[in-house]
Amino acid sequence: MKITVFNGSPAGKESATSVIATAFLSGAAEAGAQTNHIFLCEKNVQHCKGCFTCWFKNPGICVMQDAMQDLMHAYNTSDVVCFATPVYTWNYTAYLKNFVDRLAPLKSLVIAQQNAHFDLIDTKPKTQKFMVIANCGFPGTHNFDVMQASFACCNPFLEIYRNCGKLLKSKQPDIKQQVDTWLAAVRRAGFETVKDGDVSEAVRKALEMPLMEVQDYVQYLGMGQSAQY
Ligand SMILES: Cc1cc2nc3c(=O)[nH]c(=O)nc-3n(C[C@H](O)[C@H](O)[C@H](O)COP(=O)(O)O)c2cc1C
């Protein structure tokens, strides 16, 4: 099984997103997967020009020659594609959005309707399974709502959403211990994805573990807290 993480954090290898994705991939590798962690901020991927050449004039072929050809190959040949990102202004980052936009050449000119949603279907049916890894700076449970709605179109089998992301790289022993316990569940999720093709309810539950109480976290950040916006 080949698993590729497309990491959209501008902080690349130093990112909190990378801490989570690396744990997931290490569990997957332990179970025998071939793993690939791609940092989009290191790649030359230009913005989609919106010329529609890849749909109407030269189907499937983008007019731009950049890193996207290799990235598209990694995307197409993976069994599991993981979109990994921090929350930036409620959603996924511009690096990841740019990458997803540049997947446009994979679309056909056939519109499909599912319930009230319309989209173009792919020229070749997708063979990959999709998953999401994300972290955010705030505490609370609604930071990922917009992102979750955005990713719903790829029907992810697993979504790992970590709030209080500033704790992920903490060196404070008590915090590190809590983070390591959570990362062990992430590793286990990677292992089960490869071994069982899915993640057990027990591990999914463990992934929801809180890292810190809201007030303690606000204090940890050295920020104030107001009752309203
Ligand atoms: C421009 C910008 C926008 C952000 N927007 C949000 C946000 O809407 N909600 C949130 O909880 N955190 C937000 N954050 C905080 C990041 O999600 C947080 O710092 C995260 O841990 C960074 O992860 P990374 O190290 O993987 O890049 C934002 C950070 C930046 C720089």
Q: Go through the domains of the chain in sequence order and give each one's CATH number.
A: 2-221 (3.40.50.360)
Task: Classify residue 94 as exposed, middle or buried by CB count within 10 Å of its CB (0-12, 13-18, 19+).
Answer: middle
pTM score, whole prediction = 0.96
What whole-number distance in Å separates Cα of residue 130 and Cα of residue 99?
Answer: 15
Q: Residue 117 has what pLDDT?
A: 84
Q: Residue 207 has what pLDDT?
A: 98
Kindly report which listed range (67-71, 98-102, 124-128) carries the lowest average pLDDT score. 124-128
Across residues 130-157, what is the average pLDDT?
Answer: 96
Residue 141 has pLDDT above 90, yes or no: no
Across residues 101-120, what is the average pLDDT?
Answer: 91
| Residue 68 and residue 45 in contact, taking contact as beta carbons nearer than 8 Å | yes
Q: Residue 25 has what pLDDT?
A: 98
**How many CB atoms lie under 10 A from the CB of residue 183?**
20
Alpha helices in the chain (DSSP H): 16-30, 68-76, 94-101, 145-151, 173-196, 201-206, 214-221
Q: Residue 132 has what pLDDT?
A: 98
The dihedrals phi and psi of 138, each to the nearest 5 degrees, come to: -85, 160
Residue 24 has pLDDT above 90, yes or no: yes
Report whether residue 90 contacts ligand 1, using a CB cutoff of 6 Å.
Answer: yes
Which residues in 107-126 are b (16+ Cβ under 10 Å) and which e?
A: beeeeeeeeeeeeeeeeeee
What whole-number distance in Å separates Cα of residue 220 and Cα of residue 55?
Answer: 50
Residue 172 has pLDDT above 90, yes or no: yes
Between 118 and 207, the higher pLDDT residue: 207
Report whether residue 217 contacts ligand 1, using a CB cutoff of 6 Å.
Answer: no
Across residues 149-161, what is the average pLDDT?
Answer: 96
Q: Which residue's CA is minimally distant from atom 8 of ligand 1?
A: 89
The predicted-structure confidence for 34-58, as pLDDT tens digits, reads as follows 999 999 999 999 999 999 999 999 9
What whole-number distance in Å separates Cα of residue 66 and Cα of residue 134?
Answer: 26
Kindly indicate the confidence band of residue 77, based on its pLDDT and cuts at 50, 70 and 90. Answer: very high
Choose one of 136, 148, 163 to mutate for the ligand 1 pocket test, by most ligand atoms within 8 angstroms of C-beta: 136
**Taking phi first (over 0 means left), then psi (-120 to 50 degrees means alpha), and beta for anything else, what does residue 2 get?**
beta
What whole-number distance in Å separates Cα of residue 153 and Cα of residue 54?
Answer: 21
Across the strands, what pairs with 119?
112
Report whether residue 16 contacts ligand 1, using a CB cutoff of 6 Å.
Answer: yes
Report whether residue 143 contacts ligand 1, using a CB cutoff of 6 Å.
Answer: yes
Computed over every residue of the chain, the mean pLDDT equals 96
Report whether residue 135 contacts ligand 1, using a CB cutoff of 6 Å.
Answer: yes
Across residues 180-209, what is the average pLDDT?
Answer: 98
What whole-number distance in Å separates Cα of residue 133 and Cα of residue 20?
Answer: 7
Report whether residue 9 contacts ligand 1, using a CB cutoff of 6 Å.
Answer: yes
What whole-number distance in Å separates Cα of residue 183 and Cα of residue 215?
Answer: 23
Report whether residue 8 contacts ligand 1, using a CB cutoff of 6 Å.
Answer: no
Report whether residue 105 contacts ligand 1, using a CB cutoff of 6 Å.
Answer: no
Kindly indicate the confidence band of residue 223, based on its pLDDT and cuts at 50, 70 and 90. Answer: confident
Give residue 65's identity as a one-letter amino acid code: Q
Tell me, in angstroms, the distance from the centre of ligand 1 to residue 93's CA: 9
Q: Residue 125 has what pLDDT?
A: 86
Q: Which residue's CA is minimally distant from atom 23 of ligand 1?
A: 86
Q: Residue 224 has what pLDDT?
A: 78
Across the strands, what pairs with 107?
122
Choose one of 17, 42, 87, 132 to mutate for the ligand 1 pocket test, by most ligand atoms within 8 angstroms of C-beta: 87
CA of 165, closest atom in ligand 1: 21
